[in-house]
Amino acid sequence: MPSPTLVRITDVSPRDGLQNESRTVPTPDKAALVRAVAAANVDEIEVSSFVSAKWIPQLGDAAELFDILSREAAPLPLLSALVPNDKGMIAALDVNQRAGRALIGKVAVFAAASETFSKKNINASIAESLERFVPVIAAAHQHALPVRGYISCVIACPFEGPIAPAAVASLSRRLLDMGVDEIDLGDTIGAATPQTTRVLLDAVHAACPELQGGLSAQRLLTLHLHDTFGRAGACASEAMRLGVRSFDGAVGGLGGCPYASTPGHRAPGNISLHALRDAIASSGLTTQLQLKALDNAATLATSLTRE
Ligand code: HMG
Ligand code: MG
Active site residue 257: yes
Q: Pick from 4, 5, 7, 3: which is nearest to 236 by CA?
A: 7
Give residue 187's pLDDT: 97
Query: With 80 as the cut, is the pLDDT of residue 263 above it?
Result: no
pLDDT average, residue stretch 270-293: 97
Query: With 80 as the cut, is the pLDDT of residue 18 above it?
Result: yes
Give residue 302's pLDDT: 87
Query: With 70 as the cut, is the pLDDT of residue 261 above it?
Result: no
Compare 49 and 258 and report the one with higher pLDDT: 49
Which of the four pLDDT bands, split at 50, 70 and 90, describes residue 168?
very high
What are the pocket residues of ligand 1 if the criterion is a CB atom closer than 6 Å to any ligand atom? 16, 19, 49-52, 54-56, 82, 84-85, 87-88, 110, 121-123, 150, 152, 186, 188, 224, 257, 259
Q: Which atom of ligand 1 is nearest to the CA of 56?
A: 44
Query: With 70 as the cut, is the pLDDT of residue 59 above it?
Result: yes
Atom 36, ligand 1: which residue's CA is nearest? 122
pLDDT average, residue stretch 188-196: 96
pTM (2 d.p.):
0.97
Any idea of the CA torsion for 106, 48, 102, 10, to the nearest 10 degrees? -50
Compare 64 and 256 and report the one with higher pLDDT: 64
pLDDT average, residue stretch 139-157: 98
Distance 51 CA to ligand 1 centre (A): 4
Query: With 70 as the cut, is the pLDDT of residue 93 above it?
Result: yes
Distance CA 73, CA 219 (A): 32
Query: With 70 as the cut, is the pLDDT of residue 267 above it?
Result: no
Give residue 248's pLDDT: 98
State whether residue 47 is helix, strand or coil: strand
Distance 105 CA to ligand 2 centre (A): 20
Query: With 80 as the cut, is the pLDDT of residue 288 above it?
Result: yes
Give residue 99's pLDDT: 98
Query: What one-character-per-residue DSSP string does 57-113 give?
Result: GGGTTHHHHHHHHHT--S---EEEEE--SHHHHHHHHHHHHHHTS-SS-EEEEEEES
Which of the four pLDDT bands, split at 50, 70 and 90, describes residue 56?
very high
pLDDT average, residue stretch 90-110: 98
Which of the four pLDDT bands, split at 50, 70 and 90, describes residue 257?
low
Give residue 305's pLDDT: 86
Query: Ligand nearest 255 Cα, by number?
Result: 2
User: What percent of the chain is modeled with pLDDT above 70?
Assistant: 96
State whether residue 162 is helix, strand or coil: strand
What structural domains and CATH numbers belong to the chain? 8-305 (3.20.20.70)
Q: Pick from 259, 119, 244, 136: which is nearest to 236 by CA?
A: 244
